[in-house]
Structure 1
Amino acid sequence: MFRVQFKRLPGNEDVPLPARMSEWAAGFDLHAAVTEPVTLKPGERGLIPTGFAMAMPPELEAQIRPRSGLAYKHGVTCLNTPGTIDADYRGEVKVLLANLGQEPFTIARGERIAQMVFQVVPRIEIAEVGELPDTERGAGGFGHTGR
């Protein structure tokens, strides 16, 4: 089990901290900490504050992902998905939302806007080599296995 610390930022005592909406949910829902409603017109994007900062162990990253209901019902999604929050970041968590829908979408204070999923990040050693080992696939790229 990993311990993640959350710090509610001043003026956001009324905004819920991230929470799972069901016992086995992978993601923690994030709430908007806007001071007044923000309307995104079709095609617009906006950086929405959440009202908290956090500290997590170096073995973790947090990924910001869209909420499926907002994406399906309104065409509202996250850009840079999944957005990565590194373990050494201590600033306010913000969500980059985009309205890909046909109608303006208004974000109210406290509204659930995205979800955050924690992932373990393996430690990687980079090794420069002169040649790579062969595989059956080789350098086959986009569409190499068919349609």
Structure 2
Amino acid sequence: MEQKTVRYRVLDPRAKAPVYATPGAAAADLCAVLDAPLTLSPGERTMIPTGLAIELPDAGCVALLYARSGLAVKHGLTLPNCVGVIDSDYRGEIKVALINLGQEPYTIEPGERVAQLCIAPVWQAAFVPALDLSDTVRGAGGFGSTGKV
């Protein structure tokens, strides 16, 4: 798997470096930097600090934050915006917005892995106004228009 260097700065001595859990992992785990355990009640949202800031290698990269699948499936803990976008020119602390969509309170422990950080290529589009768009089989159909099976 190709690697690019992503520099990171430790903003809090309790922060843990992003780590890929396995050699084939697409995203690195990010850990919570908390003074004490934090309990999220059902429906409650919070921002979890990671104590880290990153420098992406160039403007052709984006860092994407995703929920950890185990937390989402087992406990309903996910990102309220589904995916967090960290632009290549952002240098502030990475914070993870979490919401508890589960039925039970969930306690986040200091140092717990709370999100996944995926670095991906990206490009900016040159948006050009048009009077019409090319025809496709799908056309303007959306929201289930291609069928269920």
Q: Letter of the aligned partner of 2:41 in structure 1?
A: K
Q: CA deviation at 1:122?
A: 1.9
Q: CA deviation at 1:123?
A: 3.2
Counterpart in the other structure of 2:121: 120
Counterpart in the other structure of 1:140: 141
SS at match of 2:64: strand
Counterpart in the other structure of 1:2: 4
Q: CA deviation at 1:48?
A: 0.4
Q: Distance in 2 between the 1:14 and 1:130 partners? A: 55
Matched, 1:16 2:1: no
Question: Is the Cα contact below 8 Å between 2:64 and 2:85 reproduced in 1?
Answer: yes
Counterpart in the other structure of 1:103: 104
User: What is the percent sequence identity of the aligned residues?
Assistant: 47
Question: Is the Cα contact below 8 Å between 1:15 and 1:109 reproduced in 2?
Answer: no
Q: CA deviation at 1:141?
A: 1.9
Q: CA deviation at 1:77?
A: 1.2
Q: Unaligned regions of 5+ residues in structure 1, if any? A: none
- Count of aligned residue pairs for this structure pair: 145
SS at match of 2:146: coil
TM-score by length of 1: 0.92
Q: Unaligned regions of 5+ residues in structure 2, if any? A: none
Superposed counterparts of 1:46-125, under 5 Å: 46-56=46-56, 57-125=58-126
Q: CA deviation at 1:90?
A: 0.8
Q: Letter of the aligned partner of 1:99 in structure 2?
A: N
